[in-house]
Amino acid sequence: MRKKLFGVLTAGVALTLVAAGQSVAEPAPPLSQPDPVLAFLPAEATVDWAAVHRNRESRKQSRVAAKSAGQPLTYHEKETGQGANDAPARAEHVAGFGTGRGRNPKLTLTGDLAGDPTIPVVPPFAETNDAVPLASDLGASASLRTSGTIGDGPYGSGGDGTGDHDFYRLSGGAAGRIVVVETDTPTGDLDTMLAVFSATGALLDQHDNLAGSTDSRLRIPLSAGQDVYVMVAAAGPGGIPADPMKPGTGKRVLTEGAYDLTISSGGGQVDRDYFSVDLKAGDVLGASAKGKATRVVVHDPAGREVFGSSQDLSFIFAENSPLPAGGNAVADFVAPKDGRYTVGVEDGDGAYDVTVEAYRPGSELNPRPEVLTIFLDFDGARVNTRIFGADPAGNRDLSPLKKFLPGWGLTDADENAVIDGVVATVRENIEKDLAAKGTNKRFAVRILNSHDHADPWGQRNVSRVVVGGSIAESGIPTVGIAQSIDAGNFAKEETALVLLDILSAPATQSRTSLNTYITPASDKIAFIGRAIGNITAHEAGHMSGSWHQDQFNALDAIMDQGGNPKGMFGVGPDAIGGTADDIDVDFHEDVLNPSEGFTGIEDSLNRTAWAYVRGNN
């Protein structure tokens, strides 16, 4: 069934009337940097991290979590000395928590983390160290503590007033490492921020306040031989200098005062606190750490780390997700089976409180026999890019798949076969595999499409993936992007995009073009249908709660991050798409993507399977 492109106008859509024969040329708005966590980026993509951080801060301020009433269960750790509950096997059990009858699905954990007394202390470094080339050299020391003052140099309130910035050089050494950098302001008015830059001054990451304090913390992965430059400054406008390669390029003096700086790389006498809770298969667990704890981690009944977080990306959750938000670190997890799981509190020195909550999947409360629908729209669509955090946002008209067929050397006569291939791949990845391999015995989902069905978009329990459009039309430089990462699928009516301009570009323009892998030996239509179907399933996987997995390890999986198109497309050892050795790429257990700040093994198959539960009421 073919519907008219933009054939229905809803209330609130403004129309511009143009006389016959005239056209209106509108200036193209600037491209909005997609958040890499939500996007499937082309292999050649570069990330404007400054834009990503601006968009993230904007989304953090606007997100409001829907919270249900009820007083939480409270539990204070019983550890009397370091070591008593420092491993999952020695976790303190919290009885009464959970989603079952008579249990409380909300829990507040409190306790204290003891600092590592073995970290050496070095004297403060001398000014002037207000730019990358002037950075104080910390070398490849495993761990150390030092101190400094914002405002004591030539650019503070006693100098030219542009604002003091202290830079420190860190080296990955011969083997590389993960470094945790944290400020502490025990006295004075200083409100710190941390940022990390490359040797050329590119902003790589930044962090302002730990929840409940004016201190800051960054977790920095360092490759062997890599140097990065950590900056301590006052938070606020001018905290990031206009040119980190030149001193005196701040905007103004903000807060000033003394700070302590701790660099740690693990090891030593590290205090960690673990608590065990009982979960049912399908329980959606959320945890948020505040106070001095800056990392929260979940282990499964076998003791495996299944989600570790040292950051708050809860603004990427669906707007009506009930999971806890805010804090120094936020984790979300879907239990694939009944069992005793542990929530760990790590990385910090001092008192903490951790919010832990559990919910049943959003669709489980739907009236019987309601099921969720994923609608694949190949006919073009009008999409408001606000839902992807685009700036500027607005209604964008995306072209249908048919427009991109010539890029693959196909004609309109091939459209139905390509669509059939995409639909078959998505159904295999989601309808068939998740039902056969997942632990959700009430799994149910409908995959509808514009080729065979009337458009249900706008109805209850319908999410869509628009397969069509381009970067120029959307204003978003990506191949695919989802509206949210929604563990438990509480939103149930969201949108994702799979753009086709890069996928259909000449092979010389992008390694992410399907043409890179098409030769006369290819079954071209079968390959195109499967590759686009895999990306479509990937974006549906985000909307049903799965994060990115490692795209460069030995396992090719549907939730692999962009950058390895050959793996996502299922191209086999012969490096030609559409031949007998092509690979069936599926949802799998796999390592969370190491570049996105999470750790552990993600079971994307069951995270996605438990997002689609037949109604229970």
Q: Can you tell me the mean pLDDT for 558-573?
A: 96
Q: Which helix (H) or strand (E) holds 52?
A: helix 49-62
Domain 132-264 class, CATH top level: mainly beta
Q: Can you tell me the mean pLDDT for 130-145?
A: 89
Q: Can you tell me the mean pLDDT for 175-196?
A: 86
- Within the chain, which residue ranges are assigned CATH 2.60.120.380? 73-115+272-359, 132-264
pLDDT band at 22 (very low <50, low <70, confident <90, very high): very low
| Helix, strand, coil in percent for the chain, rounding step 5 | 15, 30, 55
Q: Can you tell me the mean pLDDT for 387-415?
A: 94
Q: What is the pLDDT of residue 267?
A: 54
Q: Can you tell me the mean pLDDT for 280-293?
A: 94
For residue 108 the two structure tokens come to: 């507040």
Q: What is the pLDDT of residue 10?
A: 29
Q: Can you tell me the mean pLDDT for 83-93?
A: 87
Q: What is the pLDDT of residue 4?
A: 32
What is the tens place of the pLDDT at every residue in 69-82?
579 999 999 876 56
Q: What is the pLDDT of residue 587?
A: 97
pLDDT at 16 over 50: no
Percent of the chain with pLDDT over 90: 68
pLDDT at 57 over 60: yes
Please answer whether residues 76 and 597 qualify as being in contact, where contact means their C-beta atoms are separated by less than 8 angstroms: no
pLDDT band at 555 (very low <50, low <70, confident <90, very high): very high
Q: Can you tell me the mean pLDDT for 321-339?
A: 94
Place of tokens 């399977």: 609
pLDDT at 439 over 80: yes
Question: For 73-115+272-359, CATH number?
Answer: 2.60.120.380
pLDDT at 367 over 90: no
pLDDT at 139 over 60: yes
Q: What is the pLDDT of residue 82?
A: 61
Say how far residue 538 (Cα) sits from the centre of its chain. Answer: 13
Query: To the nearest whole number, what is the mean pLDDT of the chain?
Result: 89
Q: What is the pLDDT of residue 29?
A: 61
pLDDT at 41 over 90: yes
What is the tens place of the pLDDT at every residue in 511-526?
999 999 999 999 999 9
Q: Can you tell me the mean pLDDT for 292-305?
A: 94
Q: What is the pLDDT of residue 292?
A: 84
Q: What is the pLDDT of residue 85?
A: 84
pLDDT at 24 over 50: no
Please answer whether residues 229 and 138 qualify as being in contact, where contact means their C-beta atoms are separated by less than 8 angstroms: no
Q: In what order do the strands lie in the sheet with 136-137?
A: 136-137, 166-171, 227-234, 192-197, 203-207
Q: Can you tell me the mean pLDDT for 96-118?
A: 89
Q: What is the pLDDT of residue 62?
A: 59
SS3 602: strand
pLDDT at 440 over 80: yes
pLDDT at 370 over 90: no
Residues pairing with 395 in the sheet: 384
Q: What is the pLDDT of residue 55?
A: 79
Q: What is the pLDDT of residue 116?
A: 73
Please answer whether residues 190 and 214 qualify as being in contact, where contact means their C-beta atoms are separated by less than 8 angstroms: yes
pLDDT at 298 over 80: yes
Q: What is the pLDDT of residue 432?
A: 96
Give the range with max mean pLDDT: 58-67, 173-182, 409-418.
Answer: 409-418
Q: What is the pLDDT of residue 603?
A: 98
pLDDT at 453 over 60: yes
What is the tens place of the pLDDT at every residue in 472-499?
999 999 999 999 999 999 999 999 999 9
pLDDT at 124 over 70: yes
Q: Can you tell me the mean pLDDT for 540-561?
A: 96
**174-178, 459-463, 578-582: least confident range:** 174-178
CA atoms within 13 A on the CB side of 43: 18
Judging by beta carbons within 10 Å of its beta carbon (0-12, 13-18, 19+), is residue 595 exposed, middle or buried?
middle
Amino acid at 92: E
Q: What is the pLDDT of residue 83?
A: 67
For residue 33 the two structure tokens come to: 């940097």
Give the range with max mean pLDDT: 163-177, 367-381, 400-414.
Answer: 400-414
More confident residue, 52 or 404: 404
Closest residue by Cα to residue 88 from 286, 350, 346: 346
What length is written for the chain?
A: 617
Q: What is the pLDDT of residue 266?
A: 62
The DSSP letter of residue 311 is S
CA 613/CA 597 separation, integer angstroms: 30
Q: What is the pLDDT of residue 212?
A: 61
Q: Can you tell me the mean pLDDT for 114-130?
A: 87
**163-177, 269-283, 293-307, 427-441: least confident range:** 163-177
pLDDT at 152 over 80: yes
Give the range with max mean pLDDT: 20-24, 284-288, 311-315.
Answer: 284-288
CA 485/CA 488 separation, integer angstroms: 9
What is the pTM assigned to this prediction? Answer: 0.83
Q: Can you tell me the mean pLDDT for 272-290?
A: 96
